[in-house]
Chains A and B, each alone.
Chain A
């Protein structure tokens, strides 16, 4: 079994504040590729052939809320967070599968193999026949919410702590995984 149960205890709670990083109160770091005047402030470069200018176009989403690599970015990153799942699970496995595949939600298939998906990643564990592990729901919930509680250097995104998925969405994903025969 990969998820280690010994680490698991119920000290923490789920708070209602989801977002990970404090916003900037003043100006952005001077080296950010941003345009504060557009809705999605993050910019993407566009190389124009035979031109000495680099063009910048708005990126499809705003990435300024999360810590960057800029030395001027002094916002603390979100620390690992332990949570308690209140049962019953009440997750929707059909919705869970959609979330597992959706690019801007779980997108678990980048790293994991799930039934019926081609081009699966090989970074994470196989999630086929997940039911056979008999993991308790709260364990799976914590793994998705913030896997760093079990493995401090896990590369799996802390979906809950970083505000990528909300509590119900994680419940749906747990329900989906627990349904995989």
Chain B
């Protein structure tokens, strides 16, 4: 009897976990249906027509504060300016680190293979992230995988750190011009992550009770003090991005910035909620070309 007691308690506990623990109350913005393709913006903000073709932007709009948001900052993507900005330094640094790790004695090519490169070729790899990783047993973004694979080569590249993002910029730069392409419509872990991400994107949180969508879906083009919010479509293609204030900002660090600005407790880069939002936003960028190295103010 004495030995059975812990087992009984355990059974009772699991039974309770299964039946009780209703989801805590959360407020959600109305769940917009999004098309997991960049052209879906035509039924959200309609600004897509102005930045659809990166080679043919109307530069006059960039200088007009009322029109600027309609370009979705794409005028800061390549080839906006052949001169050197911080994003190019990052790409150089990332290239160095990449080759260092990929040429470890006795392990040549292992780093690239771990990242998912076929026969060491990085071309097109960025377009396929986030992806389901068998070794991690979950969907992961490129930066999480860089940290994971670098650790195998004995180097610490924390998710969100400069060097991690630099490698990410370098890897992405090998896909510049190639459209983002992740499948979030066939049943599987990516689709589930996309659906969860869409939900978190609409979840109100923090001290002033805002969701990502409160601004990025419902206030596009409106002024919040000095800034104007742009569409969530097409954003992921230019990350990690060079910004003077942050040196180099990964997508998850941008989420942290928006969380802090709206007084919401931030999560660590690579957390499941952030990765799900990343999958969601990557779905909304499907079809748009990888645009790295890029710069934002």
Contact = CB atoms under 8 A, between A and B. Distances in A.
Given A32-B265, A45-B160, A63 B222 contact: no
A79 interface: yes
B121 interface: no
A27 interface: no
Interface in B81-111: 93
A65 B259 CA distance: 14
A71 interface: yes
Contact of A47 (B162, B268, B277): B162
Contacts of B260: 42, 44, 59, 63
Given A31-B267, A54-B159, A67-B26, A122 B223 contact: yes
B6 interface: no
Interface string A44-75: 11011111111000010101111111110011
Interface residues of A, number: 47
A158 to B, nearest CB: 6
Interface stretch (B41-49, B184-192, B198-206): B198-206
A123 B267 contact: no
A155 B229 CA distance: 15
Contacts of A65: 207
A121 to B, nearest CB: 5
B264 A52 contact: no
Consensus secondary structure, chain A interface: loop
Contact of A63 (B27, B164, B263, B274): B263
Interface in B148-177: 150, 155-165
B255 to A, nearest CB: 9
Interface of A: 31-34, 42-45, 47-54, 59, 61, 63-71, 74-77, 79, 109-111, 119-123, 148, 153, 155, 157-158, 162, 164
Interface of B: 21, 24-27, 29-30, 93, 150, 155-165, 200, 203-210, 214, 218-219, 222-226, 246-249, 253, 256, 259-260, 263-269, 271-274, 277
24 contacts: A45-B253, A47-B249, A48-B162, A49-B248, A51-B163, A52-B155, A52-B162, A53-B158, A54-B160, A54-B269, A61-B263, A63-B265, A65-B207, A66-B264, A67-B24, A67-B205, A68-B205, A70-B271, A77-B24, A110-B224, A110-B225, A121-B222, A123-B222, A157-B209
Q: A-B pairs with the 10 shortest C-beta distances?
A: A31-B271, A157-B208, A76-B24, A76-B25, A68-B265, A63-B265, A54-B161, A54-B160, A52-B163, A122-B223
